[in-house]
Structure 1
């Protein structure tokens, strides 16, 4: 495959010219793209492929993870520097994040790209968009901020931040339109994940797991700030669960960037989980699984695609939790539940995220085929809502970006400055 960062040239040595501060070749339009975490890296990689299919001369620069780098992007700095979540958790990282923001702004000013795409991670990306508001560069934000869930008042800060907002969820365009903002639904990337191509027998053979041993997927998160909070709880949960399910086989799918952290945290566990970092091995694990315990987030939709019955949990700093509860406006945190409009999967959050309660809930799910089948029926209902009108989500997003790229620059100045230093 030709590198995407070298305007379609097969000569990968050209990639070296895209390092920060290097001149950008003028034979292709430049798209500067930033992803701030593992899920954004996946979205960004698919978007790069879709954009390149529509215009092979495009040049890419910006910030991304392993998947985007595998397509030729030379990340300005490690994407993992941005993977921080939580109101309290982010405080120790503020100085470093400000430095990374400055580096991103300076790189955009130097390269003068034709368009900037920011993916999710609103704590960082929206500040970046605001910093370049007077640059005359077209801006797309991909994955709408979930202000419909909490802190709705932030909507008043959005006008002028982007030229186009791309949404993953079908109800979002109407929600934003009611508040005077245009948004476009492009479908959810989970539909392109390939989860359903998993092979259960292959996974059991590769990892020497007996056919009669139940496989339990554990998903503690994709951020270094999340994993240390959930893995100790998961370990104690397993200790309790093994009393009634002694042959349970735990599997932890995790992004490569987080794998060392996970391995360090589980090194003293009495039963070592299988660590899965390869995407195909992850899908095989889903196919082999009888259940899952996952943090809230996109992982719930991935598991739904894989037809894996699940329990959703999460735990953050108590101060963060207290503040969040005052601002959250939706009845559920699991996307599966939110889209279904009812509790399809159990949510065990904060004070309910205890080893005892999690073990009891997972145990019931493993022992009750009817409950598992009921979840699977609801998964099909939810996933049907996530398809774009035409093509794949990445194709739909790429078409929106290409349409904007071909439009003449026409942006009204913003009325007020937002996002203080």
Structure 2
């Protein structure tokens, strides 16, 4: 079926964070192009802005290099082939790949060869690992929209046009979060310790990470019986989260939320959190955190070989310092996680200067990332279309 004759933007967002970024771009574009037809692969936030999802974004979500990827690779490759064929036939004015570089750069490269203009939104982290990917970016993208201020200059060194548009989350999240209001919304008492536990938004992440997180939570509850634990869960993973919490003996001691991760982060004193975009959200809420990650051992060894910086968590990468602890792979034992969280929970009494310094660094980061992303992205796209 042919797309409508009015302006056609094709987009692919491969996971929850990409869905948010794409929805903000759509919001900005619809101001100037109210009859825009946008279609491809996306999620619920994009759908709220009239996006036609030919496939849901969760079809592309995969964790690591090994077992899960082997199981799902053929289905993902089939979707990519069908998408390229469909877009090559329908000729959108522009294709935008939002993050998901392993999928999107290949799509962009094929479409660009066929005369379709391409934009990649979110510069692949060539400054953190896999620097060889810069050559693929050069072949694939007419333009890159960057969410971190140092990226355009880095890409320019390789002859790649780019625009810094700020990080959309810096506008979504208030500069001064209101912990008391968030607790009222959740029906929590204003005083008392609250821990937000975020074990990831993908099934594979939950499979590797949730159990040690919940085991750590059990230890913390034994030491701090009045501790409130919030666990935001993607609705599709709620049953799995509940089962793992029950296995660890804490299901009746925690509160599992349907989504509401921002509310949980705003309400908490500290968060135990899987490495990923959620760690930046926690930093923008000015919350102390313990970052952790665990994956298949083969995936871990492959990633470690290509890692360029000593940090994995975005707050540490952006601050160029271990401002919050990272406990990764074999270091992510329940006891180590519980001890690191306890240090943050004790900090208001034992080390208040540590909390104050962290909040100031996260506030400075927030100001640096805060831009009118929908407008800047829209302006860049209009220039690309007019070229």
1:395 to 357, 375, 385: 375
CA distance in 1, matches of 2:344, 2:298: 31
Is 2:30 the counterpart of 1:52? Answer: yes
The whole-number CA distance in structure 2 between the counterparts of 1:261 and 1:137 is 42
Matches within 5 A, 1:89-108: 89-108=68-87
Is residue 8–residue 94 contact of structure 2 (8 Å, CA) maintained in 1? yes
SS at match of 1:294: strand
Say whether the 8 Å CA contact 2:211–2:248 is kept in structure 1: no
Contact 1:332/1:343, CA 8 A, preserved across alignment: yes
State the partner residue of 2:40: 62
Give the match for residue 376 of structure 1: 359
- Partner-residue secondary structure (3-state), 1:118: strand
Look up the match of 2:257.
276
Measured after TM superposition, the shift of residue 285 of structure 1 is 2.4
The CA deviation string for residues 346-405 of structure 1, in whole angstroms up to 9 with x for no partner, is 1111121110000001001100121322221110122222234xxx11221121112111
| Structure 2 gap ranges (5+) | none
**CA distance, structure 2, for counterparts of residue 221 and residue 354 of structure 1:** 17
Q: Secondary structure of 2:39's partner? A: strand
For residues 139-178 of structure 1, the aligned pairs below 5 Å read: 139-178=118-157
What TM-score does the superposition give when structure 1 sets the normalisation length? 0.85
- Name 1:322's counterpart in structure 2: 301
- Please give the per-residue CA displacement for 1:134-163, whole angstroms capped at 9, x wherever unaligned: 221111100011112112122223323111
Distance across 2 between alignment mates of 1:385 and 1:206: 29
| Alignment correspondent of 1:81 | 59
Match of 2:189 in 1: 210
1:16-35 → structure 2 map (5 Å cutoff): 22-26=1-5, 28-35=6-13
Structure 1 residues not aligned, in runs of 5+: 1-21, 408-421
**What CA deviation, in whole Å up to 9, does each residue of 1:34-55 have, x standing for no partner?**
1000000001111101010122
Q: Is the alpha carbon distance of 1:263 and 1:48 closer, same or farther for their aligned partners in structure 2, counting shifts above 3 Å?
A: farther
Q: Contact 1:35 / 1:119 at 8 angstroms: preserved in 2?
A: yes
Question: Contact (CA 8 Å) 1:301, 1:336: kept in 2 or not?
Answer: yes
SS at structure 1 position matched to 2:204: coil
Cα pair distance change 1:68/1:360, threshold 3 Å: same
Q: Is 1:225–2:204 an aligned residue pair?
A: yes
Greater helix share, structure number: 2
The 5 Å alignment of 1:106-125 reads 106-125=85-104
Q: Is the 8 A contact 2:167 2:370 kept in 1?
A: yes
My pick for the range that moved more, 170-179 or 206-215, is 206-215
Find the aligned partners of 1:374 and 1:198 in 2 and give their Cα distance.
17
1:101-157, Cα deviation, whole Å (9 max, x unpaired): 122112212322111111001111111112223221111100011112112122223
**SS of 2:95 mapped into structure 1:** strand
Tell me the SS of whatever aligns to 1:316.
coil
Greater displacement, 323-332 / 30-39 = 323-332
**RMSD (CA atoms):** 1.9
Counterpart contact for 1:196–1:283, Cα < 8 Å: no
CA contact (8 A) 2:84 2:110 kept: yes
Matched pairs, number: 380
Return the alpha-carbon distance in structure 2 between the equivalents of residues 291 and 324 of structure 1: 28
Structure 1 range deviating more: 316-325 or 379-388: 379-388
**Does residue 40 in structure 1 map to residue 21 in structure 2?**
no
Partner of 1:385: 368
- Deviation at residue 207 of structure 1 after TM alignment: 4.2
Q: What's the CA shift for 1:201? A: 4.2
Please state how far the C-alpha of 1:270 moved relative to its aligned partner. 2.9
CA–CA distance in structure 1, aligned partners of residues 100 and 19 of structure 2 = 11
In structure 2, the CA distance between the partners of 1:354 and 1:397, relative to structure 1 (3 Å rule), is: same
Change (3 A) 1:212 1:145: same
213, 218, 224: which one aligns with 1:234: 213
Contact map agreement 2:93 2:117 (CA 8 A) in 1: yes
Structure 2 length normalisation: TM-score? 0.92
**Any conservation in 1 of the 2:276–2:314 contact (CA below 8 Å)?**
yes
1:265 counterpart = 2:248: no
